[in-house]
Chain A
Amino acid sequence: GENVEQHPSTLSVQEGDSAVIKCTYSDSASNYFPWYKQELGKRPQLIIDIRSNVGEKKDQRIAVTLNKTAKHFSLHITETQPEDSAVYFCAVNYGGSQGNLIFGKGTKLSVKP
């Protein structure tokens, strides 16, 4: 089945620095790559997503890059703020399906003021 590997599992940065989280996947049929942010005790919330027909997408301080050939995609957060502290999950849609997301194990990001 599909395997999504996410690194690092924990990441600590100073406020204002950049943070990068990387994920690799194995299913070449996957065509949708979302990133979710989950704060403690809350539901996962989509922060950015990318589809296989583009290589990069940016939304203010957040960007995602996709390399379909190498089967990896990354989340970039610039000018980090303490409120960015949370667990971030990458995901891929298994087999290109609509509702079946396979998640990475998560990255706990801590932004120190």
Chain B
Amino acid sequence: KAGVTQTPRYLIKTRGQQVTLSCSPISGHRSVSWYQQTPGQGLQFLFEYFSETQRNKGNFPGRFSGRQFSNSRSEMNVSTLELGDSALYLCASSLVARYGNEQFFGPGTRLTVL
């Protein structure tokens, strides 16, 4: 099975712009979670989507949003970019289970905001 893929891998934007990142989960996985990774804050949960619905949301401002399509692919959008949004954005997919289940991470999108 192909792993989780993310596009683009690298992105450079300027303050005030918006950006859309894409994530394709492993075939058959219906849950997609997004994380922000920075040296200072580590890995922080953004949100999780399952069956096109946001199921969980982390503590990030409303500038961060996402969606999931019927084929489980997911996108996240960041509007009005700030310098502090520079980070590695990771998505992870997992099978649905009653309890927590293994999350497989994609390679990430490195976003740099100038």
Contact assessment for A45 and B105 in the assembled complex, using a CB-CB cutoff below 8 Å = yes
Contact assessment for B105 and A100 in the assembled complex, using a CB-CB cutoff below 8 Å = no
Report which of B31, B42, B59, B104 forms a contact with A98, defined as CB distance below 8 A: B31
Q: Identify the interface centre among B94, B96, B100: most chain A CB within 10 Å of its CB.
A: B100
Contact assessment for A44 and B48 in the assembled complex, using a CB-CB cutoff below 8 Å = no
- State the CA gap A91–B35 with chains docked (Å): 13
Report which of B43, B44, B48, B59 forms a contact with A99, defined as CB distance below 8 A: B48
Known: A98-B50, A99-B56. A32 touches B99 (CB 8 A): yes
Asked if B70 is at the interface (CB within 8 A of a chain A CB), the reply is no
- State the CA gap A101–B105 with chains docked (Å): 12
Residues of A close to B105: CB separation below 8 A:
36, 43-45
Residues of B close to A49: CB separation below 8 A:
100, 102
Contact assessment for A99 and B50 in the assembled complex, using a CB-CB cutoff below 8 Å = yes
Q: Which residues of A contact B (CB under 8 A)?
A: 1, 31-32, 34, 36, 42-46, 49, 51, 89, 91, 93-94, 96-106
Residues of B close to A31: CB separation below 8 A:
99-100
Residue ID in chain B nearest A32 by CB atoms:
B100
- State the CA gap A43–B90 with chains docked (Å): 8
Asked if B66 is at the interface (CB within 8 A of a chain A CB), the reply is no
Contact assessment for A100 and B42 in the assembled complex, using a CB-CB cutoff below 8 Å = no
Residues of A close to B42: CB separation below 8 A:
89, 103-106
A-B contact pairs, 21 of them (CB 8 A): A31-B100, A34-B100, A44-B43, A44-B105, A45-B105, A51-B100, A93-B99, A93-B100, A94-B45, A96-B100, A97-B48, A97-B56, A98-B55, A98-B96, A98-B100, A99-B32, A99-B92, A100-B58, A101-B45, A103-B42, A103-B45
